[in-house]
Amino acid sequence: MKSFLSLEDFLSELREAVGEEFVSTAVEDLLLT
């Protein structure tokens, strides 16, 4: 089981799953809008 330490792998898999433009890590900007 992978740990959260490999954040880049995690984000990479998410981007592959839904498309790069639909994954955002700018969460504070998103939460304010």
Partner 1 sequence: MRDASAPLSERFFGRPAVPRVVVFTGSAEEVQRVVRIANKYRTPVLPVCFGTNMAGITVPTVEGMVIVDLKRLNRIIEIDEESMTATIEPAVSFGRLDAEARRHGLKTVCKVGGYTGGLVGNFVTANMRPYNARYGWTDPVVSLEVVLPNGELLRTGSQAVPGFEKLNPYVRLCFGPDLSDCLEEVLVRSGS
Q: Which residues bind partner 1 (CB under 8 A)?
A: 1-4, 6-7, 9-11, 13-14, 17-18, 22-25, 27-28, 30-31
What tokens appear for 6 in the block? Answer: 């490999």
- Distance of closest approach, residue 14 Cβ to partner 1, in angstroms: 6
- Distance of closest approach, residue 9 Cβ to partner 1, in angstroms: 8
**In Å, what is the CA distance from 13 to each residue of 17, 20, 22?**
6, 10, 12
- Distance of closest approach, residue 11 Cβ to partner 1, in angstroms: 6
